[in-house]
Structure 1
Amino acid sequence: MPQTISITAIASISPLGNSSKSIWENYLSENTCFSEHYLDHATTLVATLDSFSIAEVEALRQSDIKYKALDKSVLYAMVASRKAIEKAGWTKDAVFGINIGSSRGATDLFEKHYQEYLETGKAQTLASPTTTLGNISSWVAHDLQSTGPEISHSITCSTALHSVLNGVAWLRAGMSDKFLVGGSEAPLTDFTIGQMRALKIYYKKKKDQPELDEYPNRALDLDKKQSSMILGEGAGVCCLEIGKKENAIAFIEGIGYATEILEHNISISAEATCFQKSMKMALQNIDVSDVDAIVMHAPGTIKGDLTEYVAIQKVFGESLPLLTTNKWKIGHTFGASGILSIEMAILMMQHNQFIGVPFLDYPVRVSNPDKVIKKVLVNAVGFGGNAVSVLLSL
């Protein structure tokens, strides 16, 4: 295998909290992070940042007059990035690359600027520079005073894992020794919720099945009759370094990626060919039986969950690893979801404890639940059939 990549730190802000301790404690709880908010002209279930993260973001916004005009997606990434480099021991003036992406970018700010334009016929001076997708990494670089390359991109919901791929490529090419990678998303806006409802994939309260309200996002429930995706917000970044570092919290053992021909605008194929290819590529240097768990993309939609599961069956056969997802708990954070899944995987390895989906007895417990968690595969995919798989190990 090419040269080892060390993950020397990971940090996030999300509905789970803003520290490794609080995030792990929330994973141990079987409660969800959803609450009702008035969006898209109706009461809507979403997962917002926890109160401590909200306070951190607001403190950052107030700390510099330039930051007051920035979108929440940018501020979220800045807060998470400060935490990550502190954990990794990187100094603010160190030379490192930055690749932090977002599926939708400055959605909230763009909607506000556009609404003002419709009402007044005039655009604000900062409307364009504060709503471009390149905003995120540029402002993180400014805040951290870094001097390395900066990249922002969108590859829909696999954005964060594509950031990891990019960072690995730069490191292995010898073009950098360190890279800060991840994703940020602040999608809890009227128009975004409206778009998800138009796709008929958003959670809708079931009057005849009130018992499902405890776990409204039925991620990984392969028997569900209705899609149940719920949106969440947050940001996560990790510090990548070339070589096997003493302070590494995990290692990237394999990476895989694939894109498949679209059947229509939003779907992947019935057997998720892209996932089969990305997982096989990530696992090409090990026996599949060595994988202890998979953190699935599994957004809570009927087709999305089932096709990924079918792909896993195709790759692993009858001996499936432990399967899980965090979207039943925090919802789908779009471009940030992959890095939050990596965080979950690392925490499970560090604590040697599998976190399953509480309302399911299958397929998450078909293997020995007491097995040691040393290798975890993380999946992500987005509109366009662009799958990424990352194999992590301790």
Structure 2
Amino acid sequence: MASVSPLGMNQNEIWEAYTKDQHKITSRKYVSTAAIVAELPRHAADQIAVLRNSTANYQALDNSVLYGLLAARNAFKMAGWDKNSHFGINVGSSRGATSLFEKYHEEFLAKGKSSTLSSPTTTLGNISSWIAHDLQSQGPEISHSITCSTALHALLNGVAWIQSGLTDKFLVGGSEAPLTAFTIEQMKALKIYAADTNADYPCQAMNLNKKQNSMFLGEGAGVICMEKGVQNNAIALVTGIGFATEPLQHNISISTEADCFQKSMKMALQGMDASDIDVVVMHAPGTIKGDQSEYNAIKKVFGSQMPALTTNKWKIGHTFGASGILSLEFAILMLVNQKFINIPFVTSDGAPQNLRRILVNAVGFGGNAVSVVIEQR
């Protein structure tokens, strides 16, 4: 696995960042207003700049493509795959080429004309197709947007393709570069964006006593190289998957007890006892209703056998379509290092001493829930 995010792009530095109680929030001026965001660190942004300038073709690409491409290169190398490996690619995005689309639309409004590359560089298929080009893959290429559960839906697709026998390997994940003035104003219009830039922890994800919404945006990408069976270099096993949707009550809401999460978690837990799960990495975006409804669903599913709960949103923000894969990376790192990472402003009943199985949740606008169980190799 590999990623590029506000935590960095090397697994050692990412894990070190997780073990500290500091968040990665900064404040940036967007047009006429300031907003808190989580940006890539300077060394990671520099690597993106090097990648962009490495060939003329890459100079016209959106950051969402370049983030995914860099993460894919690193994971591909770690997995020991090469151009002779037959593998599929599914790296999705909630919004795709956000910055480029806004740039080209502004250009059109000003000039009444559109640039030659405005269409091919702003399609959602842009990410997987350029990764396929860069890695010289011979397998299927899939791109999609299922809002904030996009990356974990990519994992579902990878599992399905592998189980179908059409391929033995799949590179899956999500990429998002949403830090634009228009995107942030959209979130502010929904009344869910964090406003308190002076707080020690501006995002109060999983704090069920918070009085205001505290979601904020981050950027980044993550990918996982999946293979059939148990390989010698496997770092974790996918042992349960679940998915569900629920009827919409509102464009951005899910039900009070998150029926979609209840269904997806129960599906992922088939053949397991509730006590088999040591940790749930929650979606928990930092909104009042979103955090509470997911917690209600977990209580419904696990009852008196509640696992430890955590999330990474307070630290790196909500990365939309990439959030699920970054949560999965978080879970894998906890398994590998055998250490539970708590949230500094949430009281815990005690950290599990041994980590064997972790459940990861993601959900997006429209109640598209995905739950994945990973197990220690």
TM-score by length of 2: 0.99
| Matched residue, 1:299 | 285
In structure 2, C-alpha distance between the alignment counterparts of 1:196 and 1:172, rounded to whole Å? 38
In structure 2, C-alpha distance between the alignment counterparts of 1:144 and 1:63, rounded to whole Å? 15
In structure 2, C-alpha distance between the alignment counterparts of 1:264 and 1:175, rounded to whole Å? 39
| Unpaired segments ≥5 residues, structure 2 | none
- Mapping for residues 25-104 of structure 1, pairs under 5 Å: 25-104=16-95
Deviations 1:269-298 (A, max 9, x none): 000000000000000111110100010000
Deviations 1:245-289 (A, max 9, x none): 111100000000000001111100000000000000000111110
| Matched residue, 1:194 | 185
1:388 aligns to 2:370 (yes or no): yes
Q: SS of the counterpart of 1:44?
A: strand
In structure 2, C-alpha distance between the alignment counterparts of 1:14 and 1:340, rounded to whole Å? 8
Amino acid at match of 1:350: V
Q: SS of the counterpart of 1:268?
A: coil
Q: SS of the counterpart of 2:138?
A: coil
Q: Of the candidates 320, 324, 342, which is equivalent to residue 306 of structure 2?
A: 320
In the TM superposition, residue 238 of structure 1 has moved relative to its aligned partner by: 0.3
Q: SS of the counterpart of 1:214?
A: coil
Does the aligned pair in 1 maintain the 2:204–2:286 contact within 8 Å? Answer: yes
Amino acid at match of 2:300: K
| Matched residue, 2:335 | 349
Does the aligned pair in 2 maintain the 1:294–1:322 contact within 8 Å? Answer: yes
Amino acid at match of 1:342: L
In structure 2, C-alpha distance between the alignment counterparts of 1:346 and 1:175, rounded to whole Å? 27
In the TM superposition, residue 229 of structure 1 has moved relative to its aligned partner by: 0.3
Amino acid at match of 1:316: F
Q: SS of the counterpart of 1:187?
A: coil
Deviations 1:59-118 (A, max 9, x none): 110001000000000000000000001000001342110000000000000000111111
In the TM superposition, residue 371 of structure 1 has moved relative to its aligned partner by: 2.1
Aligned length: 376
| Matched residue, 1:17 | 8
Does the aligned pair in 2 maintain the 1:293–1:321 contact within 8 Å? Answer: yes
In structure 2, C-alpha distance between the alignment counterparts of 1:133 and 1:39, rounded to whole Å? 25
Q: SS of the counterpart of 1:377?
A: strand
Amino acid at match of 1:384: G
| Matched residue, 1:243 | 229
1:204 aligns to 2:195 (yes or no): yes
| Matched residue, 2:176 | 185
Deviations 1:29-76 (A, max 9, x none): 100100011125211100001112111111110001000000000000
Does the aligned pair in 2 maintain the 1:98–1:180 contact within 8 Å? Answer: yes
Q: SS of the counterpart of 2:81?
A: coil
Does the aligned pair in 1 maintain the 2:248–2:366 contact within 8 Å? Answer: yes
Q: Of the candidates 343, 350, 354, which is equivalent to residue 372 of structure 1?
A: 354
| Matched residue, 2:245 | 259
In structure 2, C-alpha distance between the alignment counterparts of 1:390 and 1:40, rounded to whole Å? 39
In the TM superposition, residue 370 of structure 1 has moved relative to its aligned partner by: 4.2
| Matched residue, 2:319 | 333
Deviations 1:311-369 (A, max 9, x none): 000000022101000000000000000000000000001111000110110xxx22x41
Does the aligned pair in 2 maintain the 1:137–1:151 contact within 8 Å? Answer: yes
Amino acid at match of 1:379: N
In structure 1, C-alpha distance between the alignment counterparts of 2:237 and 2:43, rounded to whole Å? 30
Does the aligned pair in 1 maintain the 2:248–2:254 contact within 8 Å? Answer: yes
Does the aligned pair in 2 maintain the 1:230–1:331 contact within 8 Å? Answer: yes
1:149 aligns to 2:149 (yes or no): no
Q: SS of the counterpart of 2:53?
A: helix
Q: SS of the counterpart of 1:63?
A: coil
Give 4+ residue runs of structure 1 displaced > 2 Å after superposition. none
In the TM superposition, residue 222 of structure 1 has moved relative to its aligned partner by: 0.3
In structure 1, C-alpha distance between the alignment counterparts of 2:250 and 2:159, rounded to whole Å? 31
Deviations 1:199-242 (A, max 9, x none): 00001127xxx5xx110000000001100001000000000001
Q: SS of the counterpart of 2:217?
A: coil
Q: SS of the counterpart of 2:170?
A: strand
| Matched residue, 1:119 | 110
In the TM superposition, residue 374 of structure 1 has moved relative to its aligned partner by: 1.0
Does the aligned pair in 2 maintain the 1:292–1:371 contact within 8 Å? Answer: no
TM-score by length of 1: 0.94
Deviations 1:173-220 (A, max 9, x none): 1011100000000000011001000000001127xxx5xx11000000
| Unpaired segments ≥5 residues, structure 1 | 1-9
**Is the deviation greater in 31-40 or in 184-193?**
31-40
In structure 1, C-alpha distance between the alignment counterparts of 2:304 and 2:292, rounded to whole Å? 16
1:218 aligns to 2:204 (yes or no): yes
1:279 aligns to 2:265 (yes or no): yes
Distance verdict in 2 for CA 1:62–1:261, change over 3 Å? same
